[in-house]
A and B are shown apart, each in its own frame.
Chain A
Amino acid sequence: DAGVIQSPRHEVTEMGQEVTLRCKPISGHNSLFWYRQTMMRGLELLIYFNNNVPIDDSGMPEDRFSAKMPNASFSTLKIQPSEPRDSAVYFCASSPLQLMNTEAFFGQGTRLTVV
């Protein structure tokens, strides 16, 4: 398996534009997580899904952020409209459903810059 695949790797956009980040989890993994990493706040969990269903989105900072998982092999994180303070590295991770006994596997991340 190629691991968790995120696209794009880098995104530069102007303030106010819509940004869509994509993630393909490892095949067979039932849980998917979106994280944001900044220098100031470290790694923060934004939202996670079990079996394509959002379980906890309390980490989503504002209504400008939304995430979907239409099927087991694809998820998106959308920011609309984007703001400079959204600039960060966004990571997607997946793991098997039995969370307590398994590792989380991370993608390479998407570095987002909003100017």
Chain B
Amino acid sequence: KQEVTQIPAALSVPEGENLVLNCSFTDSAIYNLQWFRQDPGKGLTSLLLIQSSQREQTSGRLNASLDKSSGRSTLYIAASQPGDSATYLCAVMDSNYQLIWGAGTKLIIKP
């Protein structure tokens, strides 16, 4: 059974720092991995999608990597800003086409 874990559960850093969020999964048989952002009281916004054949994707200050063999993904945020404060979730699409979710990392960027 696929399980997704995100560490840390919460993170607080000063503005301007680069940071890394971690996501691990137990079964490497995935179709893709997706990083989402959730703001309080709002829906989920897709940030980056990495196909199982890819190793990384970049969008602006965000870079996501995928190492299927080790069951890991990282989301790198460069030059963090207070507006980056949110909960970041990763989800893997398993062999049954279902999204399996991590519990999220709550990120606070201090001005």
Binding site for B on A (CB under 8 A): 4, 33, 42-43, 45, 48, 56, 91, 93, 99-109, 111
Contact partners of B41 in chain A: CB under 8 A? 111
Contact partners of B97 in chain A: CB under 8 A? 99-100
Further pairs besides A103-B34, A104-B91: 15, Cβ < 8 Å: A4-B43, A33-B99, A42-B103, A43-B101, A45-B99, A91-B43, A99-B31, A100-B31, A100-B93, A102-B49, A103-B49, A104-B34, A106-B36, A106-B45, A109-B42
What total count of A-B pairs have CB within 8 Å?
47
Of the A-B pairs whose beta carbons lie under 8 Å apart in the complex, a sample of 27, sorted by A's number, is A33-B99, A42-B101, A42-B102, A42-B103, A43-B101, A45-B98, A45-B99, A91-B43, A91-B44, A99-B93, A100-B32, A101-B31, A101-B51, A102-B49, A103-B34, A103-B46, A104-B34, A104-B46, A104-B91, A104-B99, A106-B36, A106-B43, A106-B44, A106-B45, A107-B43, A108-B43, A109-B42
Residues of B in contact with A, size category: 20 to 34
Give A91 to B31 CA distance when docked, in angstroms: 22
Binding site for A on B (CB under 8 A): 31-32, 34, 36, 41-46, 49, 51, 89, 91, 93, 96-99, 101-104
Nearest 4 CB-CB pairings of A with B: A100-B31, A106-B44, A108-B43, A43-B101
Min Cβ gap A70→B in Å is: 23
Min Cβ gap A49→B in Å is: 12
Contact partners of A56 in chain B: CB under 8 A? 96, 98
Contact partners of B34 in chain A: CB under 8 A? 103-104
Give A112 to B43 CA distance when docked, in angstroms: 14
